[in-house]
């Protein structure tokens, strides 16, 4: 994964905490301010599912988005905050379009922001699936599911940027009036 600080292009979508969307043609849809409580995860999943449906993602793409954000939040709670409850997490959801294909259907960009510990760079790699053991699957799920996965740390804050674009086959179907 790479930092997205150097990739920011205009127009930017700043959130309340100063994080900026790295994507061009970005429009803020919603922002959730959570506490690091595992009980909040089901609420975020429900919200993200509806957002993805509204943006006309396929069912499997919607599941991929929901799964990725859930796993990312679980990582923040478990690792960045060491399981402590009541710590702040901000989830920003933006509608984004690719600058090179502005006519394509909008994608969904999710930025997670927390003020926990910086992750160990060695742990930002997916583990081998050949090894059958519990744990370490969350990041693998995220990388398999999203089109963009970028981590950065800025001024003591962790930022994880996830982007999913609708599959082209769906665009084809919509173009045919389905």
Partner 1 sequence: MQIATRQTEGRVILDVSGDIDLANSPAMRKMLLGEIKEKRTPKVLLNLRSVRYIDSSGIASLVEGLKASRDLGSRLILYGLSPTVREVMELSRLQRIFEIYDNEEQALAR
How many Å apart are CA 106 and CA 154, to the nearest integer?
27
DSSP codes of every residue in 45-105 = HHHHHHHHHHTT--HHHHHHHHHHHHHHHHHIIIIISTT-SS-EEEEEEEEE--TT-TTSP
- The stretch near partner 1 (CB under 8 A) out of 65-73, 88-96, 115-123, 148-156 is 65-73
Considering only 8, 30, 42, 124, the residue that binds partner 1 (CB under 8 A) is 42
Which tokens belong to 29? Answer: 């849809």
| CB closer to partner 1 out of 88 and 136 | 136
- Contacts with partner 1 by CB under 8 A: the residue count is 26
136-155 mask for partner 1 (x: CB under 8 A)? xxx-xx--xx----------
Q: Nearest Cα to 39, choosing from 73, 72, 63?
A: 73
Pairing of strands 88-96, 107-114: antiparallel
Considering only 39, 100, 155, 178, the residue that binds partner 1 (CB under 8 A) is 39
Binding site for partner 1 (CB under 8 A): 38-39, 41-42, 45, 60, 63, 66-67, 70-71, 74, 77-78, 129, 132-138, 140-141, 144-145
């Amino acid at each position: 994964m790479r930092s997205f600080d150097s990739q920011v292009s205009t127009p930017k979508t700043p959130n309340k905490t100063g994080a900026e969307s790295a994507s061009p043609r970005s429009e803020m849809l919603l922002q959730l301010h959570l506490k690091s409580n595992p009980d909040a995860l089901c609420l975020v999943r429900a919200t993200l599912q509806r957002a993805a449906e509204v943006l006309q993602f396929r069912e499997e793409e919607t599941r991929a988005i929901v799964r990725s954000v859930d796993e990312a939040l679980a990582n923040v709670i478990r690792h960045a905050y060491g399981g402590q409850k009541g710590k702040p997490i901000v989830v920003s959801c933006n509608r984004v379009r690719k600058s090179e294909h502005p006519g394509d259907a909008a994608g969904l960009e999710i930025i997670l922001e927390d003020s926990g510990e910086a992750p160990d760079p060695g742990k930002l790699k997916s583990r081998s699936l050949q090894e059958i053991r519990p744990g370490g699957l969350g990041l693998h799920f995220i990388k398999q599911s999203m089109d963009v996965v970028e981590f950065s740390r800025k001024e003591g804050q962790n930022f994880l940027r996830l982007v999913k674009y609708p599959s082209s086959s769906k665009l084809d179907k919509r173009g045919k009036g389905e």
